[in-house]
A and B are shown apart, each in its own frame.
Chain A
């Protein structure tokens, strides 16, 4: 009888161990089964305009150097639209009364994950760090606050708000909203993408501007702190 209990305990422990192992591997399995049809999980060999037009979601092969994990876990359970005109604005617009408008009927809601799946998927996503040197790490001075000039740079001098909204009903719609960027994105990613979007997302419809180091620091600080404000004023 004791032997039987011992045997059952050993089998139980073995089952538990295998469950833990399976759970740890679930993140990659979730990415492959639920994400890969819309997102590139590995770097495409050659990026052409067709890739930009045809992809159904942003590339995720560098998600680990892009996103903040706590945000990922939260967002995957309760996704809120980040890109007001979809993953590629051109395929989600129509003629409005005067100007082009977003064709809401073409936008698809992102799937929701359970908490356990979101945590596992976030872990797996954070392991996707893309090619070496994609992001410039350590260049952005996290301790320095945005100067009063930063908003002027964002809105007028560098024209960021022509394409990006900041949660105050202002700003364009062809790029992702930036009012949650500080919560969503790693500061080094914001810095690097602002400096050279084409290096990170080749072919994307955001131009590479010649921005001075000082302005880059200021713009990054400004974008990071937008998350802490209800409205960007």
Chain B
């Protein structure tokens, strides 16, 4: 009887793990797709935009203009992809935004700018364009 119970509980465990693994394949794919962009974000953007991507980074307390909340679907969703890419590449001033957002075009390649732009759309959960 104990053996049967053990087998049943093991089967239940395996089923649960399988369900967790396959219930949302899109998330797994996203993780791979955004892996490099996430690494870039963690290296360069988190210092101001924060670990939670909500604008509350380590430096934000000391800044005269608060960094943008990248987790805000409304605020981020209203910005066209082209403008996000432009600001990443040329800095805030290029789009009449804060001078404190620097130009990263000397560090990120055009491909990385595109990846980061897509990543920003991903983390605000505000669509693909």
Give A contacts to B, CB under 8 Å: 49, 52-53, 85, 89-90, 93-95, 98-102, 156-159, 161-163, 165, 170-174, 198, 203, 205, 207-210
Contacts and interface: CB of A to CB of B under 8 A. Distances in A.
A154 B91 CA distance: 17
10 contacts: A89-B47, A90-B42, A98-B56, A99-B58, A162-B48, A162-B62, A172-B63, A173-B62, A208-B107, A209-B103
Interface in B35-84: 39-40, 42-44, 46-48, 50-52, 56-64
B57 A161 contact: no
A205 B47 contact: yes
Most buried by A among B56, B59, B102, B104: B59
Contacts of B44: 205, 207
Interface of B: 39-40, 42-44, 46-48, 50-52, 56-64, 99-100, 102-104, 106-107
A198 B107 CA distance: 8
Nearest to B102: A207
Given A90-B42, A172-B62, A163 B56 contact: no
Contact of A156 (B99, B102, B107): B99
B69 to A, nearest CB: 12
Nearest to B64: A156
B106 A99 contact: no
A207 B47 CA distance: 12
Contacts of B40: 49
Contacts of B61: 98-99
Given A90-B46, A205-B44, A172 B59 contact: yes
Contacts of B99: 156-159
B58 A162 contact: no
Given A161-B62, A170-B62, A208-B106, A99 B56 contact: yes
Contact of A207 (B50, B56, B60, B107): B107
B41 to A, nearest CB: 10
Contacts of A159: 99-100, 102
B104 A53 contact: no
B103 A100 contact: no
A162 B63 CA distance: 6
A173 B59 CA distance: 6
Contacts of A94: 51
Contacts of A157: 99
The 4 closest A-B pairs by CB, nearest first: A172-B59, A174-B47, A207-B102, A99-B56
Nearest to B54: A99
A45 B57 CA distance: 32
Contacts of A161: 62
Contacts of A100: 46, 50-51, 56-58, 60
Given A89-B47, A93-B51, A98-B56, A207 B100 contact: no
Nearest to B101: A159
A131 to B, nearest CB: 19
Given A89-B58, A156-B64, A198 B106 contact: yes
A172 B104 contact: no
A203 B106 CA distance: 11
Given A100-B50, A162-B100, 16 more contacts: A90-B46, A98-B56, A100-B56, A159-B99, A159-B100, A171-B62, A172-B47, A172-B59, A172-B62, A172-B63, A173-B59, A174-B47, A174-B58, A174-B59, A203-B107, A208-B107
